[in-house]
Structures are given as C-alpha cells and as structure tokens.
Amino acid sequence: MSEKKVSEAILYRRSVRVFDEKKDIDPVIVKRCIQQGALAPNSSNLQLWEFYHITDTEIIKKISTACFNQPAAKTAKQFVIPVVRKDLWKKRITSNVDFIKSEYEKSNNKDPKKIKSAISYYQKILPKIYGVGNLGGWLNSVATHVKGIKKVVYRQVKKSDMRVVAHKSTALAAQNFLVSMAGFGYDTCTMEGFDSLRVKKLLGLPKTAQISMIIGCGIRTPQGVYGPRFRVPFEEVYFHK
C-alpha cells in the first residue's frame, strides 16, 4: 500500500458517512495511525489522552447503537475513540520528570540550572494549575486579572480552562490520526452525536474521563461523501497583520 504525501492526504480526507461494508481495513495499519496521532503537539507534553481501538464486532454494534445508528457508525469497520484524561495529570507529570532526569544523566553537557528549571515547572507550576478546584480557580482568575493590569500573565487558570486545554491537545492528536489514515487511503468520520454515558460504560471508563469524539473507520463508498467539499471563502478566515 503506497502512502500519500501529507498535502495529498489532507486533500483526500473527507468525512465519510457511508463505508463499504464489503471492504475491511487492516487493524495493524489503524494502530500505526494511532501511534502517529500520539506524536501530536500537546500542552506541556502531558499527553492527557487515551485511544480506544475497537475491532470486536459485538462492541462495534453496541457503539453504533450508542451513536444512534447513524450511517457512519452503522457501516464502520472499526472505531477509534480518543478519550481525554485530565485526571491523569499527576501521573503524566511524574513520567515527564523521570524522562527529564534520565536524559540529564545521559547528557555529556550537563546544565544543573536548566534541569532544575524544567523539573520545577512540572512539580511546582503545573500542580497549581491542574490541581485547582472551582473556588481556587475563581480566586486564581481574580488574582491573575489584578496582576495582568501591569504585566503580561497567563490567564487560563480556572478548572474549566484546563478542561479546554486537555480537549484541544486530544483533538490535535485526533487530527494527526485522521490525516495518517487518509495517507494510507483509509477513511474516517468524526462523530459527536452519541450517548457518552453508555459508551463510557462500554469502554469501562471512570467518571473523570471524557470522550472527545468517536471516529468511524473504513473504506468510502461513492455515496459516502455527501457532495463537494464546502469551505467559506478563505479571505473570511485569513488575516495578515
């Protein structure tokens, strides 16, 4: 299977709402695309995500039902479900700190100040942001507003802000996955219409986990692409200063 160039894959990718039920896709390649998805840029490299790759036919049927049996779910050969795990921030901080220390030990050009600064960021600054509750976040927001009157400050300090940050990072990974799938000539459809509680139960997710989207995967049929691609004129969204 020949791979497309990135620009070709981006142009090839469409939201395919009807997959060819006679054509299978290789789960090994889908897994490889998920691995490429996980290389996406993300906030503070915390990687607050998980990816559930569904190939079991019985689970696929149940997820399709939870997606209201919309065509992109009902005809999907496999599902990939990116899940936001903001609740794992402490574990991910530890992983980053361990990695930084490990790389420092292997380095021939050791800079104690640099590693101390990096570790301090993960162990002192990030916990103040990710560990904040609703009240603490509101107080942080007020304090930040006051400080921001005279200097540049980071203003996304509420609990709800960090939820948005975690979802943005996961969405970036999902986009990497979509383009990677298109690169192999595979098709996808991102879906937001689903019963999140039922899907979480099917996946065995804790209450703190949040499903970013459900991605149906397969091979397109001619009727699976609903017409020509539409985008508003580029001049309406592009501003050069």
Q: Does domain 6-87+166-225 have CATH number 2.40.50.140?
A: no
- pLDDT per position as a tens digit, 153-170: 777 778 888 899 999 999
Confidence check: pLDDT of 1 > 70? no
Mean pLDDT value across residues 175-202: 98
Query: Boundaries of CATH 3.40.109.10 in the chain?
Result: 6-87+166-225
pLDDT digits 0-9 by tens, 81-109 = 999 999 999 999 999 999 999 999 988 88
pTM: 0.92
DSSP SS3 for 214: strand
Task: Report the amino acid identity of residue 184.
Answer: F
Q: Which residues contact 182 (CB under 8 A, 6 or more apart)?
A: 4, 9, 10, 12, 13, 188
Quick: pLDDT tens for 16-57.
Answer: 999 999 999 999 999 999 999 999 999 999 999 999 999 999
- Measured distance CA(35)–CA(51) in Å, rounded: 9
Give one word for 185, left, alpha or beta, with left for phi > 0 and alpha for psi -120 to 50: left
E strands along the chain, which residues? 49-54, 78-84, 187-191, 210-211, 214-218
